[in-house]
Copies of this chain bind each other. A is one copy, B any other.
Amino acid sequence: MISAENPYTTVSVQDLLTANVEHSSAFDLIGYLSQRRDMVETALDKAIPVVYPEKIYEAMRYSLMAGGKRLRPILCIAACELAGGSIEMALPTACALEMIHTMSLIHDDLPAMDNDDLRRGKPTNHKKYGEDIAILAGDGLLAYAFEYLAVHTPQVPAERLLQVVARLGHAVAATGLVGGQVVDLESEGVGDVTLSTLNFIHAHKTGALLEASVVTGAQLAGADQEMLERCSQYARNIGLAFQIIDDVLDITATGEELGKTAGKDLQAQKATYPSLWGIPESQRQAHHLVEQAQAELTIYGTQAIPLMALADFITARKS
């Protein structure tokens, strides 16, 4: 979580937007994040009630409701608002994104994959419910994500919703996070992973869904082609920055701070940005990417402040 003492998140946004800011009060990112997160948590809680057979609903909820930054849903809502849409229009897709993200975490943690025991400070899904239920909880969340947004989205024409369905499918399939995870697994223990392979892994494993979060938000509100492209570019940049910071935190943060096992990458001999560039250069690159991301959106003035601040949040975060 971002610390209240860190002035970085508001100051740099103000610097960038001096010409456009109409109100002199600084944007309250912490309040914004906390309000949006509560909204998403409430919607997620309602989305999956526990019915027979209870075990699978409990397993899905166990990982879905385990906290987390809710970054993807918040990005989706912010992009929808940037494009003139409402929170209500974006909320079901926002929830679907979090269901899909949770699916990917549950499956990535499995013994056959990254074999992790701890996630968000709690035993991983398969440690709690068994491997069989964990696999099925992931499958259930993925399938339900599509049903949920198709059924519950208000005020969005069906054509746009279908584009969102297609975009989400593309972001998860072998063209997206599944493909990224495959190359990540293949690269484990291989000494000479190139920068282009590392970029492929992260552009797909984490980048594709982050990009889909922003782009689907804008799609829901009927954004024009230029805005969709700017949103894509913004998201690609913050996605990569997010991953670089993730790699850095894996080295510098404690397990307690992360809520998961620290130092896993080193242990698994995973290629990471710090292993290629070192920590200071990795941090510099992440900051540069965030600046590039923000530059894409300056054209939209004050409307873009939340997405600008979210970009800063990514490099400032401690977990």
Contact = CB atoms under 8 A, between A and B. Distances in A.
A21 interface: no
Interface in A49-85: 53, 55-57, 60
A230 interface: no
B174 A133 contact: no
Nearest to A163: B150
A281 interface: no
Contact of A179 (B53, B147, B161, B181): B53
Contacts of A60: 174
Contacts of A132: 110, 112-113, 185
Interface residues of A, number: 52
A307 interface: no
How many subunits of this chain does the assembly comprise? 2
Contacts of A181: 136
Interface in A164-209: 165-166, 168-170, 172-176, 178-179, 181-183, 185-186
A169 B183 contact: no
Contacts of A163: 150
Interface in A118-164: 130-133, 135-136, 138-148, 150-151, 157-159, 161-163
